[in-house]
Amino acid sequence: MTETGAPPAISEPSREPDAIRPLPPPPALPEEVDGDVMRAAILAKLTYAVGKNPEVASKRDWFLATTLAVRDRIVERWMSSTRKTYESKRKRVYYLSLEFLIGRLLIDALMETGLTEPVREALAGLGVDLDELRKIEPDAALGNGGLGRLAACFMESMATLQVAAHGYGIRYDHGLFRQAIKDGWQREYPENWLTFGNPWEFERPEVDYSVGFGGTVDTIEVSEDETRHVWKPEETVDAIAFDTPVTGWRAAHVNTLRLWSARAPDALRLDAFNQGDHVGALAARVRLEAISKVLYPSDATPAGLELRLRQEYFFVAASLQDIIRRHKQHHGDLRTLPDKVAVQLNDTHPTIAIVEMMRILLDQEEFGWDDAWDITTAVFSYTNHTLLPEALESWPVPLMERLLPRHMQIIYLINALHLELVRSRGEHDGGMLSALSLIDESHGRRVRMGHLAFIGSHKINGVSALHSDLVKRTVFNHLDRFYPDRIVNKTNGITFRRWLFEANPGLTKLLVDCCGAQVMDDPNALARFEHYADDAGVVDRFQTIRRAKKVELAKIIRQRLEVTVSPDAMFDVQIKRIHEYKRQLLNILEIVALYDAIRANPGGNWVPRVKIFAGKAAASYHQAKLIIKLANDVARLVNRDPAVRGLLKVVFLPNYNVSLAEAIIPAADLSEQISTAGMEASGTGNMKLALNGSLTIGTLDGANVEIRDHVGDDNIFIFGLTTDEVDARRRKGIDMADVIAASPMLEEVLDALGSGVFSPGEPGRFGDLVNTLKYHDYFMVAADFDAYYATQRLVDARWHDRAAWWRSAIINTARMGFFSSDRAIAEYATDIWNVPIVAKP
């Protein structure tokens, strides 16, 4: 990379670059780390840690040896970071999350440490190709989607900004299921990321906390006006720590991701074993260790539901013991906890931490209620990631009473005091009180975890401007009135290290050439790229870079699906979880309409398109799985129809994960962000695609609104009902007879789906789906169809004007600086955690 901005091949910017804050030059690599040093290090690891010699080593052996050699370099920085944090006695941030969707780490670690070229060179000298090793590494898929990936981006940015942070979560034996597509249907298979071990982690058998469940609570009269409570759990499980170093940019600081694994205190019941009951002797152990077996156990059964609650308490209880032990060791008194500790709750999943903190302070540390509560609320803050009612957690009171009896008592007390405060402010309306209560009495008694998280936190944040506004206006409307100023916005961000530098080295190089080397450290320096929006040389380079990525993706598509696509066609992508609100169905309806239109007018000025889908449906989500089947049925018919050959292809890439995202995003021309307005909290894929120069077609939902504000109306394709219009339409009724009567095209599309054109073997397959769109269109698919189709034709027109397309693409990339997770973390640090950021974004 060049150090000084534009090389001669690139013309000068049309206007002066904006003033950009100078940054100190990046730290240089230690001098001794060159290809030879890394070669020796890798060979030593291969011999002494892997136990192989180069002649017989497999790719996996080389991957292990390389990872261990790189890890050594990180460990050195990790230890110095830990020491510095300890010595400075800085406030620490604890990010509690049931999900960390990390992906692969080798390329990431190489890039963060600046070791990519030395290691590439070292391996080449040994006859090994680094790119081949990259593919050996399994994705760490310890998350479902956006929320888990955000946690991973945030961990990286916290390390980059040198925030002293720990991530806490669960080390699931099996991450998110592997998706296969059989006859067009989704099938789920277990994912086995740990089969060959995990070279990044350090097991800490000595970091072992006991976590209790069930049992009884003894009440002890200490004096006339003082009682103490002692929880006597019925069973306990051990939480064992596994640590992974999280390297920040240029490895200036390294934080820790600590994941807990469940282990039964007794390996087996020896008495039963000796009596010949070999399976029974292990049963208790299997039951306890199930806690860290799988990500997101199905909550379709009572047993699954209970396991999920056990997971939540398990990781929270272990994490809080760890946090308190560290605080006591470094600072002594727990009264200083709010000065030294900030705990961020990633959604409501770890909310029981608020109650656990109260239990520790009250029952173990013997604090009075008010002091304990003040400390707790000062320490915790909570991020809301969805407004969907079915995703808002609430736990049945009987289950809580059985599994966590002392916690349930404390929740009742928190609620009583909270409602007392509400009444003291003059609110006596029964409806209002039950809306504010922590206990939902409407369908069985349940604990509202969102309310609990709100009351026990000093700040609550939404994840985009629109979403935070809706958080205030909807779920927490009443609470917001009693606790104003608690709800704030923290618009999501993404780490540019993974989603630009790693995923798209070609574009990164172009950006360095145009914006200067500073762009690697300061996302705002991207703005300079805009000066090249009309520069033919730069446009040509951008096009060449994109095309190379499209060729790579076309190869993946051919290998995985045996479908050939042209890299000269527009790659139109929708990659995300399959959910009705995300409206993959709207996209499919448009494909069917377009297919008909092309067949009716084969000579038209059509834009060749490849429609690319990827995403997983929840295993129990019937409707989402049917949408996958429909996408595949439509793909089969369209892809073999000679009438549209060269103009339209449809592909559904199976098993979407972080690595597949890294392959698709730099190859995308058009980004589909078409959720029903008001339903996508933020989206982060939208940011990744725009950063890589995709144009967005989208609704005014989530962070799309802010993306539009940044790129400008001319460089994004916005369509469809707004949040308020969706509300109004729902109030009017969601029977879409009027909409369909007014749209012959939509009617034709629905008729085709309903009559089995795409499912000749089972004509009724999509009948229910079509009926839902006609008579019960909660997600406004029919309502937004015409606007979407028309806007897609505007996209076509822009594509035909190549200069205009690339101008918009460059502007998209140039104006994405705001969406760096460094900016997001800096805001959390200042407005919520009150911690200094050593390195400024």
Query: Is 576 known to be catalytic?
Result: yes
Number of residues interacting with ligand 26V: please give it, by CB under 6 A: 18
| CB of 386 or CB of 813, closer to ligand 26V | 386
Between residue 556 and residue 575, which ones bind ligand 26V under the rule CB under 6 A? none
Q: How far apart are CA 15 and CA 137, in angstroms?
A: 45
Decide if residue 405 touches ligand 26V (CB under 6 A): no
Distance of CA 445 to the CA centre of its chain: 31
Decide if residue 682 touches ligand 26V (CB under 6 A): yes
SS3 readout for 59-96: HHHHHHHHHHHHHHHHHHHHHHHHHHHHHHCCCEEEEE
CA dihedral 547, 609, 808, 658 (to 10 degrees): -60
Q: How many other CB atoms are there within 10 angstroms of residue 123's CB atom?
A: 22
Q: How far apart are CA 211 and CA 237, in angstroms?
A: 5
Catalytic residue among 446, 550, 582, 823: 582
Q: What is the DSSP letter of 255?
A: E
Catalytic residue among 77, 576, 625, 774: 576
DSSP secondary structure string for all residues of 11-40: PPPSSPPPP----PPPPPPPTT-SHHHHHH
Decide if residue 519 touches ligand 26V (CB under 6 A): no
**Residue of minimal CB distance from ligand 26V?**
146
Contact pick of 288, 410, 681, 773 for ligand 26V (by CB under 6 A): 681
Between the alpha carbon of residue 777 and those of residues 582, 732, 735, 768, the distances in Å are: 13, 12, 7, 12
Contact pick of 463, 653, 770, 832 for ligand 26V (by CB under 6 A): 463
Decide if residue 450 touches ligand 26V (CB under 6 A): no
- Residue 240's DSSP bridge partners are 208, 261
DSSP reduced 3-state for 261: strand
Closest to 736 measured CA to CA, from 779, 768, 701, 766: 779
Between the alpha carbon of residue 509 and those of residues 7, 145, 520, 523, 755, the distances in Å are: 11, 29, 10, 14, 52
Contact pick of 136, 150, 515, 691 for ligand 26V (by CB under 6 A): 150
Decide if residue 684 touches ligand 26V (CB under 6 A): yes
| CB of 97 or CB of 813, closer to ligand 26V | 97
Query: Is 385 known to be catalytic?
Result: yes
Minimum distance, C-beta of residue 576 to ligand 26V, in the bound complex (Å): 9
| CB of 301 or CB of 434, closer to ligand 26V | 301
Minimum distance, C-beta of residue 829 to ligand 26V, in the bound complex (Å): 18
Decide if residue 683 touches ligand 26V (CB under 6 A): yes
Task: Mark 689-728 with x for binding to ligand 26V (rule: CB under 6 A) and - for no binding.
Answer: -------------x--------------------------
- H and E: helices and strands count for the chain: 33, 24
What residues contact 226, with CB distance under 8 A and at least 6 apart?
A: none
Decide if residue 386 touches ligand 26V (CB under 6 A): yes
Between residue 239 and residue 268, which ones bind ligand 26V under the rule CB under 6 A? none
Query: Is 582 known to be catalytic?
Result: yes
- Residue 221's DSSP bridge partners are 227
Decide if residue 453 touches ligand 26V (CB under 6 A): no
Minimum distance, C-beta of residue 467 to ligand 26V, in the bound complex (Å): 8
Between residue 345 and residue 384, which ones bind ligand 26V under the rule CB under 6 A? 347
Decide if residue 743 touches ligand 26V (CB under 6 A): no
Using left for φ > 0, alpha for ψ between -120 and 50, and beta otherwise, residue 609 falls in beta
Backbone angles phi, psi at 771, to 5 degrees: -65, -40
Decide if residue 385 touches ligand 26V (CB under 6 A): yes
683 token code pair: 């989206």
Minimum distance, C-beta of residue 762 to ligand 26V, in the bound complex (Å): 27
Catalytic residue among 577, 616, 625, 823: 577
| CB of 597 or CB of 619, closer to ligand 26V | 619
Between CA 472 and CA 479, with CA 476 as vertex, the angle to 5 degrees is 110
Contact pick of 124, 300, 391, 794 for ligand 26V (by CB under 6 A): 391
Q: Which helix (H) or strand (E) holds 778?
A: none
Decide if residue 40 touches ligand 26V (CB under 6 A): no
Catalytic residue among 71, 73, 285, 385: 385
Query: Is 541 known to be catalytic?
Result: no
Query: Is 684 known to be catalytic?
Result: yes
Q: What is the DSSP letter of 548?
A: H
Q: How far apart are CA 635 and CA 489, in angstroms?
A: 40
Catalytic residue among 688, 765, 798, 823: 688
Minimum distance, C-beta of residue 620 to ligand 26V, in the bound complex (Å): 9
Residues near ligand 26V (CB under 6 A): 145-147, 150, 347, 385-386, 388, 390-391, 463, 492, 680-684, 702
> Active-site residue numbers?
385, 576-577, 582, 684, 688
